[in-house]
A and B are shown apart, each in its own frame.
Chain A
Amino acid sequence: MREKLKVTVAVLAFVAAYIGVAIYAGGIEGAFTVTFLLNGLQAAALFTLLALGLSLIFGMAGIINFAHGAIFLLGAYVTWYVSSLGFGYILSVIAAVIATGLFGLLIEVIGLRRLYEEDELLQILYTFGIALGFQGLITFVAGPSSRSINPPGWGTGSATILGAQYPLFRLLIIVFTIVLIGIVWFMLQRTNIGLIIRAGTRDTEMTRILGHNVERMFTLVFVIGSMLAGIAGALAIPIRPVSPVTGNEIIIETFVVVVVGGLGSFLGTILGGISIAQILTFGSYIPVIEKYSTTAIFVFMALVLLIRPRGFLGSVGFMED
């Protein structure tokens, strides 16, 4: 517990110092500071949703899902397509969640289920194949150009926070993500299913012996993780254009988040999301880093790994190899 607190404080202190340097060196003034901070938090929300799904799947089945970006992409494109048919945003998001849940189910049932006992190389390659093929498929079906939609009518206004005008929709994303993370946390910590899932991550064999259908839990977790990625896609498309390449770009940043935060750690994933998002957001204001801000997060990851190979809050030994 103490260690958790120490790491959290250290990470937040580093991020604060980094932001301080950016504000000082980049000459960011007054209300802009708040705007950028909120931008960072909003990016962190999307990263955390993606990373949480990835981390859940990994914790349960020991599989790194390279197709997670493809699922994000599906969520975004379904939202775009359903809205373009004239349905409201909320309906589109629900459609995206259902579609990504089904897609996740399909990925798990068709191939992954057969590969749990196999070499992890095959698991990586299977999901990598889906990631590549799906980018190709989306290009084939919807064309290579990027798509976006307008935020829904109820989210177009803006709110004033500490003197900064900030778009209401982006604020809602942050709030919604916090609620969603709370729900996932509650499900994992306070329900029977959550208990079985956590037991399954600790010791699959023992959980099976106790009479629980671990295979069904694997499928369930994969579907939940996919839905989280789908929601991230659905939330992203009103604020940033999404094209077929976005999926395989965002998966790399998500990997950095989980490596830095420590796979399988709830708080670590959130910390990872926040630090990576703020480094990205403020990086473009630090003179030397500027245009390399997308590269800066990789350097940050390398530093974290050198100091603490298991990431912020990853457990010792767990998946060290």
Chain B
Amino acid sequence: MSLKNTVTNVSERVQTVHQRISQHQYLGHPLAPILALIAVFAIAPPLIGRELLLGLMLVFGVFAVAYNLVLGYSGLVSFGHAAFFGTGSYVVIFALDGGFSIIGSFLAVAAISAVLGAVIGLISLRRRGIYFAMITLALGQAIYGFIFYSEFTGGADGLILETVEPSLLFGVVSLDFTNSLVSYYFILGASLLVLLILYRIVRSPFGLTLEAIRENEERANHLGYNVQFTLLNSFVISAMFSGIMGGLLMLLINITSPTNAHWLTGGEVLIMVLLGGVHSFTGPLVGSVVFYTLSEVFLTFTDNHLLFLGITLLIIVLFIPDGAVGSLRDALER
């Protein structure tokens, strides 16, 4: 091919990229979809009620966004994230019942799930791909087994949050968590905060390094990035926020059981991410909304939850592998 041809080719490609970028501008600022979604969540309860369902969508949706830091951004399939989520729910109950303030409790959750994430990450990141999936699954189940067979965690029955008396936030605002609307809006605020932090992280040089590693680990390594350390960081951050979301769930439903730490709970979140699209920041949250809506419809016919999950997953994999948001974006780009 002559040089001239090559140059024309390149300039054509640059033009296409420019077109794509300008087409995306209808979305305005990249943060717009997040803020729009949160706004919908904020005005929904007075309009349709059902804070519980909305709260679940929100908690699991943000959990899915945090999980996607490992799945979508780092390109690693973890089946062990439910362990962090579950642990978070238990730690919040112990901390609140132990007299910690609400902020103190969540700091404790963050610390413990980060440490747990570091331990599991250090072991499982010794391998990649399929091995990583199997090892995270096994280690996650080890934590599930520990919770299930221990007495101080209430065994198979789980624990109930006893202390739901009004708590002080920063010593200023008094929050009454017996009121489901107060809990809901507290979770909404916390979710927004978590989303903004995660957004900042994926847009930082660190987030870009993650994507570079996902695309070509060897090259990133040769460019001088500390691949192992970067991946471990992303795993720990993801684990920490997963734990925090598990803790927030307790403000919504006040009861936890080992199921929250079971790998199939993690599997559900994986399905949410896929429904929404792996390669999108907001996708997983949309996926959670779609997931719960579908599940509401499906479960009116039968209470067989797993059949629903399996069928949904097979449909996604065989027909819309890029997820709902991904497919929508593809359609818009064409």
Is chain B's binding surface mostly helix, strand, loop or mixed? helix
In the bound complex, CA of A139 to CA of B304 (Å):
8
Closest to B309 in A: A132
Check A111 against B317 for contact (C-beta < 8 Å). Answer: yes
The reply to whether A133 and B314 contact each other, CB–CB distance below 8 Å, is yes
* Proximity string of chain B (201-242) to chain A, C-beta cutoff 8 Å, 1 when within and 0 when not: 000000000000000010000000000000000000000000
On chain A, the residues within 8 Å of B312 by CB distance are 129
A298 touches B141 (CB 8 A): yes
Alpha-carbon gap, A306 to B119, bound state (A): 12
Check B130 against A120 for contact (C-beta < 8 Å): yes
SS of A interface (majority) = helix
> In chain A, what residue has the closest Cβ to B72?
A121
B173 proximal to A (CB < 8 A): no
Q: How far is the CB of B63 from chain A (nearest CB, A)?
A: 18
- Which of B129, B142, B314, B316 contacts A120 (CB under 8 A)? B129
Is the CB of A135 closer than 8 A to any CB of chain B? Answer: yes
Per-residue contact bits, chain A 281-321, to B (CB 8 Å; 1 contact, 0 not): 00000000001101100110110011001000000000111
A235 contacts the other chain (CB 8 A): no
Chain A interface size range: 35 or more
Select A302's contact among B123, B217, B314, beta carbons within 8 Å: B123
Residues of B within 8 A of A64 (CB): 130, 133-134
Min CB gap A172→B, angstroms:
31
In angstroms, Cα B80 to Cα A302, docked, is 14
Beyond A124-B77, A140-B307, A294-B145, whether A305 also contacts B123 by CB under 8 A is: yes
A248 to B307, CA, bound (A): 14
- Docked Cα-Cα span, A126 to B135, in Å, equals 19
Residue A91 interfacial (CB < 8 Å)? no
In the complex, B7 has a CB within 8 A of chain A: no
Among residues 302 to 319 in chain B, which have CB atoms less than 8 Å away from a CB atom of chain A? 302, 304-314, 316-318
Does chain B have a CB within 8 A of A256? Answer: yes
- A136 sits at the interface (CB 8 A): yes
Contact, CB under 8 Å: A128 / B313: yes
Closest B residue to A310 by CB, please name it. B127
Contacts of A139 in B (CB 8 A): 304, 306-307
Q: Does A252 make an interface contact (CB < 8 A)?
A: yes
Chain A contacts of B131 at CB under 8 A?
A: 259, 263, 319
Residues of A within 8 Å of B321, CB to CB, are: 118, 122
7 inter-chain pairs at a CB distance below 8 angstroms, sorted by A residue, are: A111-B318, A124-B77, A128-B267, A133-B306, A133-B311, A252-B138, A321-B128
A binding-site residues for B, Cβ under 8 Å: 58, 64, 111, 114-115, 118, 120-122, 124-126, 128-137, 139-140, 248, 252, 255-256, 258-259, 263, 291-292, 294-295, 298-299, 301-302, 305-306, 309, 319-321
CB-CB nearest 6 A-B residue pairs: A133-B310, A136-B307, A129-B313, A136-B306, A298-B142, A132-B310
List 13 extra interface pairs beyond A122-B321, A129-B311, A321-B129, CB under 8 A.
Answer: A64-B134, A111-B318, A114-B318, A126-B318, A132-B264, A132-B309, A133-B306, A133-B309, A139-B304, A259-B138, A295-B149, A309-B127, A321-B128
